[in-house]
Chain A
Amino acid sequence: MSLWTMIGLMAGGFGKTCAIFFLTLLFSLPLGMVVALLRMSKVKVVSGIVRVIISILRGTPLLLQILAVTYGPHYLFGADVSKNKLIPVVIAFAINYAAYFAEIYRGGIESMAIGQYEAADVLGYSKFQTFMHIILPQVIKRIMPSITNEIVTLVKDTSLAFAVSYQEMFTIGKQIANSQTSFVPFLVAGVFYYVFNAIVDFVMARVEKKLNYYN
């Protein structure tokens, strides 16, 4: 098999890699905020439960979580799981990344000086207005480097979908590597991820620069 044939086959799975990547971000970024707010809840039971969930999600391998979400329904209810693997894969990714984003959001929110809340309070802003207009925009700027870190990791983590044979780029590459007893597909995959992340870096650097209009 020629190099170009390999690249062509693997590129065919790139759409699915992108699907995991973008859908995970789409769901985990807002979900993480919900989790963060629950984690900071004044109701001890709520914050306690959320803390345990976050600790499990961060303390066990994502690979295991993907397997559990994809095949769990089969073992628990005898459900048929062979069909669309994108849904369980994205669910596993979104929940896992939401846990990490939640902790980043929480760190950002808790780092805000109390004075910002007090100034907003005296000026008459509602709690919701204060959070949306005063706190959140400052938090987003502060946590951007950490978010970028997670996004870069996510690009590489999409390859974990091979564990449930979801036909994304890395899964295809691995299959070619097996059938051709060649290491080349892995090198191709490495270049793919590197280029993908170079683009992510470029975009995020621009976003951070845009947020740098104040100190």
Chain B
Amino acid sequence: MILEMSNIKKSFGDNEVLKDISMHVDKGEVVSIIGPSGSGKSTLLRCATFLETIDSGNISYMGKSAVTTDDSGKAVYSHHKDLAEFKSYFGLVFQQFHLFPHFSVLKNIMDAPIKVQKRPKDEVYKEALELLDKMGLTGRGDAYPCQLSGGQQQRVAIARALALKPEILFFDEPTSALDPELTGEVLKVIKQLAEEKMTMVVVTHEMPFARAVSNRVIFMDGGVIVEQGDPEEVFGNPTQERTKLFLKNYQK
């Protein structure tokens, strides 16, 4: 098991965003998380990637505990140094890309492997070129993010995350900031990664994509997992009323 989250609780002030959520991701699995806005799906990803701290619950990567809960029910995070190791297990692709605008495309991809992982530059360079090819961005290495379209920027962001060789890759609504005609090129790349058995968790509003690519779909609403399972089951024959309503509204 790559990721296991159990009994995750998270509140922003009085607003309980995650209400006792448990989920896990196995190696090679592609999990889509769908649900209405404010259902807590993005917060769940942000908790998994330590961008938000959970109030209570357990998070472990590769069978190793990153966050535990003490007797008083409060979440306890691993020591700073260990957390750095846990961070090396995952990558995150943001809705708004968050590329570094002052770095060229190549530097965006190469900088973290060199500076964070201390890997040799020529090796990283070779891999970066391969990643660019894979993302359909051959020859764009010297461009700056501002010179690229949104779809190209997001593919650079995916390459940047992959360059660190994560065990699992999270996507937080990777196509929501894109013009409709540009979503396809990004989804294609994610699909290709799925075929290569990259472990991924994708928060998305692209229902046909989620249905086609995922091994498992999680439907969240109001801070709980309402329903999850095989995409054909969840999309084709949802058991919960809330899921039916959500999917029906979505088809309109």
Contact = CB atoms under 8 A, between A and B. Distances in A.
A210 to B, nearest CB: 12
Contact of B102 (A113, A115, A141): A141
B116 A134 contact: no
B51 A138 contact: no
Contacts of A215: 101, 144, 146
A118 B117 contact: no
Nearest to A136: B102
B203 to A, nearest CB: 15
Interface stretch (A99-107, A121-129, A148-156, A187-195): A121-129
Interface string B89-126: 01110101011111000000001100111000000000
A9 interface: no
Contacts of A122: 49, 51, 87, 90-92, 161
B101 A119 contact: no
A59 B98 CA distance: 39
A138 B117 contact: no
B146 A116 contact: no
B59 interface: no
Interface string B70-91: 0000000000000010011011
Main secondary structure on B side of the interface with A? loop
Contacts of B87: 121-122, 124
Main secondary structure on A side of the interface with B? helix
Given A134-B100, A137-B102, A214 B145 contact: yes
Contacts of B50: 121
Given A124-B84, A124-B88, A133-B111, A119 B98 contact: yes
Size band of the interface chain A makes with B: 20 to 34
B164 A123 contact: yes
Nearest to B157: A119
Nearest to A124: B116
Contacts of A129: 115-116
Interface string A4-47: 00000000000000000000000000000000000000000000
Contacts of A113: 98
Interface string B36-75: 0000000000000111000000000000000000000000
Nearest to A141: B102
Contacts, number: 58
A125 B164 CA distance: 12
Contacts of B91: 122-123
B9 interface: no
A118 B94 CA distance: 9
A213 interface: yes
Contacts of B100: 116, 119-120, 134
Contacts of A124: 84, 87-88, 112, 116-117, 164
A121 B94 CA distance: 13
A141 B145 CA distance: 16
B40 to A, nearest CB: 18
A26 B222 CA distance: 56
B147 to A, nearest CB: 8
B44 to A, nearest CB: 15
Interface in B136-165: 144-146, 160-161, 164
Given A115-B96, A124-B84, A214-B145, A138 B102 contact: yes
Nearest to B117: A124
Contacts of B92: 122
A123 B112 contact: yes
A25 B92 CA distance: 41
B116 A118 contact: no
A143 to B, nearest CB: 14
A124 B165 CA distance: 12
Given A125-B115, A138-B102, A214-B101, 14 more contacts: A115-B98, A118-B51, A119-B98, A121-B50, A121-B87, A122-B87, A122-B90, A123-B112, A133-B115, A137-B102, A214-B102, A214-B144, A214-B145, A214-B146
List the 4 closest pairs (A to B, CB-CB), nearest first: A119-B98, A115-B98, A124-B116, A215-B146
19 contacts: A115-B96, A118-B94, A119-B98, A122-B90, A123-B112, A124-B84, A124-B87, A124-B88, A124-B112, A124-B116, A124-B164, A125-B112, A125-B116, A129-B116, A133-B111, A133-B115, A138-B101, A214-B102, A215-B144
